[in-house]
Structure 1
Amino acid sequence: MTDPTPHAAPPHPAQTPEKPVWTLEGDSSAPRLVLRGTWSVQDGGMAPFPTDGLAQAQSHGTLTFDSQGVSGWDSAFIAFLWDVKQAASHAGLQFDPHGLPASAQRLLALLPDAPAPNKAADRKKPPLLERVGDKSLNVLNETGTVTELALETAQGACKTLTGKSGMRLKDLATDIWNAGPSALLIVGVVNFLVGAILAFVGLVELRRFAAEIYVANLVGIACAREISAIMTAIVMAGRTGGAYAARISTMLGNEEIDALQVFGIPVSSYILLPSILSLGLMMPLLYIYGTLIAIFGGFVVSVSMMDISPLGYLNTTFEGVSLTEFVFGFVKSFFFASFIALAACRVGLRAGRSAADVGIAATRAVVIGIVGVIAMDAIFAVMATVLGI
């Protein structure tokens, strides 16, 4: 009795891919490379072809191929053929790819005829005088560029009075708000603490000579002449200068600056002028505000730590601090603001176009702004001493 249940046929064993091999046939004047097997990375990679595999062939001959035995191939086959092509070029043979599959010929044609040359060795470090000369020329070139930018900004500011500067008043109002009222809190806090610290240190030292009342003069003159202008400028360099550099470098990366130049819109009047003008207008006002807050900070500490009436402290301050000190600090604040804004805008325009370059530009603008403000303050101190201010 036969079993009605059908039986499945036994499965066929999987065919093992044939290993890729090559042989060199023919005579030395007309060598022929015979290829067989599966040329794929997954099935065993490619058979290596030595660089001197065609050394026995005669020069000016032609290398042909027989690829009828190739059952499959991928990028490993193309890499092998490219090695063969380099060996044929080294042996002085003409490479004839017509015996290869058509698709392999097209891929092989996309590759260069020769490998890329090795990177040239680093040239020797130039002499010291040459490096100093290059640095000096770069500094002079950058100074000229910044000076030209400052002149264009001054010219645009003059044209603003006639309404022909090309600057949008909306941009100017936005930058004035960001550089002025938005910074009142941080400028006030910093100057209040600085005034309080000056008053505390002055009381500790002047108490030894029973001259605590002169703390009012110390706080008033120091803040009006130096401290408030410097601290306000440092705060604005970190807050507004870094923001200017980051904004302009972002616009550069987004190709907005390129678009303005293509349309013939001057970048100096459309973007830089409102930024520089707003900071130049707001910084002196912030200096006055910061000076008053610093004097108030000294007032709070002095009144709470020594036996003096609030009215007596204020009278001493008004008598000891002349209007010249405020005028001097006011003028310095304007120059500090102009330098911070110009440096930040220039750094932003020189930045790269990647996201990392935005952070680098902001950091560089802050550092240049702070160091430049301190250096300018030293110059003003020397000028004040020479002029007897």
Structure 2
Amino acid sequence: MSSQPLRESRSPDDGLAVSREGAHTRLALSGDWTTGQGARREIQLASLGAWQGETLTLELSGVEQLDTAGTWLLLRTAREAEDAGLEVTWEGLPAARRTLLEKVAEHESAPGEPPRPNPLRAFVARIGEKAVLAGGNARDLLNFLGLVTIGVVRNLARPRRLRFTSLVYHLERTGFDALPIVGLLAFLIGVVLAYQGADQLARFGAQIFTVNLVGISVLREMGIVLTAIIVAGRSGSAFTAQIGTMQVREEVDAMRTIGLDPIDILVVPRVLALMIALPLLTFYADILGIAGGAVMSWIALDITPLEFISRLETAVSVNHFLVGMVKAPVFAFTIALVGCFEGLKVTGSAESVGLRTTTAVVEAIFLVILLDALFSVFFSVIGV
């Protein structure tokens, strides 16, 4: 509003009629107060000048059409009068228009762009949120671990419950079909270890200890960890995608409806198949890793395969082999557990399947490395 005093107007054809009686101002409205008339009405209201007096009455009985745009203009006028110290009253409002006035007033003061949060506070809040989610996920995974353990023991105690066809199928998919990629990567890791080890040990004239380096690192760590990571990315993600797709199609709910336990049908065969396949894949990876180291030692150090094997027999004990093999069933159980757990958490969308598959791979690899670190500390303490 301008700072000029409020001028009286008695032109109802314009939609505004202003009258003053002492300290009381009366604004009689008529015609249409809609979006189409918004610009015109705003100019009319702005031309009234500054509000003076003690009270203001807005008379709407002559208004023919009123929408949210017109209501907002009237509310803004009332707020400006109140800011000037006038007491505002409304007249001629039927129930429908009063409801419209209340709805517009409810959202009139809605903020525009929200204030930017403090970066440090937002960072701490985000960490706290992630920590709470991780804690809840760990609790659910622990509960699922109990269910799967009971299911495995129940099926082993009563073999008739075990689905051998499913077990053999998953054994083939997780074990036999993984031989090419596991063998290739294990062989290349052996080559890399031998080449890098020989390059570093040559500075001390101890190239012969490359055999020790390759044998111990492959049998204790690289063979099992590399194989477990490959299986987590290959088979763990497949478990999540398969079970997640069944969740989307409501096949898991159908199993429960007809009295079948999804743990026995879907989870136990996959867990047992992977617990059988991963130790075999680990042994296979150990052989190929040592073979890769032997080939590179022959090329780079002129250590013949017979000399390599002879040195390996004296440098590596059976304990190093057993350390790697002991980890395999534990890693397999963990990978299968996480894969099936995330699969059963899928909701009814393809996006959820992709998200849970990614989460399963990340969680499985994280847990494999964590368990490997714990195993390393444990075997170091007991002197193995």
TM-score normalised according to structure 1 size:
0.67
Instruction: Letter of the 1:35 partner, please give it.
Output: G
Check conservation: 1:48, 1:80, Cα contact below 8 A.
no
> 1:376 is matched with which residue?
371
Check conservation: 1:88, 1:95, Cα contact below 8 A.
no
> 2:4 is matched with which residue?
none
Unpaired segments of 5 or more residues in structure 1?
1-20, 71-76
1:153 aligns with 2:148: yes
From the superposition, tell whether residues 320 and 95 of structure 1 become closer, same or farther in structure 2 (CA, over 3 Å): farther
Picking from 173, 180, 194, the partner of 1:178 is 173
1:256 aligns with 2:250: yes
Check conservation: 2:212, 2:316, Cα contact below 8 A.
yes
Structure-2 separation of matches of 1:262 and 1:112:
50
Q: Deviations over 1:48-86 (max 9, x none)?
A: 5569x9x9997898732443xx8xxxxxx7333443685
From the superposition, tell whether residues 329 and 64 of structure 1 become closer, same or farther in structure 2 (CA, over 3 Å): same
> 2:321 is matched with which residue?
326
Structure-2 separation of matches of 1:177 and 1:212:
41
Structure-2 separation of matches of 1:362 and 1:385:
35
Check conservation: 2:29, 2:58, Cα contact below 8 A.
no
Quote how far apart the aligned CAs of 1:179 are.
2.1
1:63 aligns with 2:23: no
Quote how far apart the aligned CAs of 1:293 are.
0.9
Quote how far apart the aligned CAs of 1:140 are.
5.1
Structure-1 separation of matches of 2:308 and 2:363:
39
> 2:312 is matched with which residue?
317
Quick check: which one's helix share is greater? 2
> 1:287 is matched with which residue?
282
> 1:79 is matched with which residue?
68
Quote how far apart the aligned CAs of 1:379 are.
1.3
> 1:342 is matched with which residue?
337
> 1:114 is matched with which residue?
106
Quote how far apart the aligned CAs of 1:228 are.
0.5
Check conservation: 1:192, 1:296, Cα contact below 8 A.
yes
From the superposition, tell whether residues 205 and 26 of structure 1 become closer, same or farther in structure 2 (CA, over 3 Å): closer
Q: Deviations over 1:320-376 (max 9, x none)?
A: 433332222112122222223333444555677665555444444333333332222
From the superposition, tell whether residues 217 and 113 of structure 1 become closer, same or farther in structure 2 (CA, over 3 Å): same
Instruction: Letter of the 1:63 partner, please give it.
Output: L
Check conservation: 2:228, 2:278, Cα contact below 8 A.
yes
Q: Deviations over 1:115-165 (max 9, x none)?
A: 277479799888999999988776554433222211111111122232576
Structure-2 separation of matches of 1:137 and 1:128:
14
Instruction: Letter of the 2:90 partner, please give it.
Output: L
Check conservation: 1:223, 1:294, Cα contact below 8 A.
yes
> 1:34 is matched with which residue?
30
Instruction: Letter of the 2:60 partner, please give it.
Output: L
> 1:93 is matched with which residue?
90
1:228 aligns with 2:223: yes
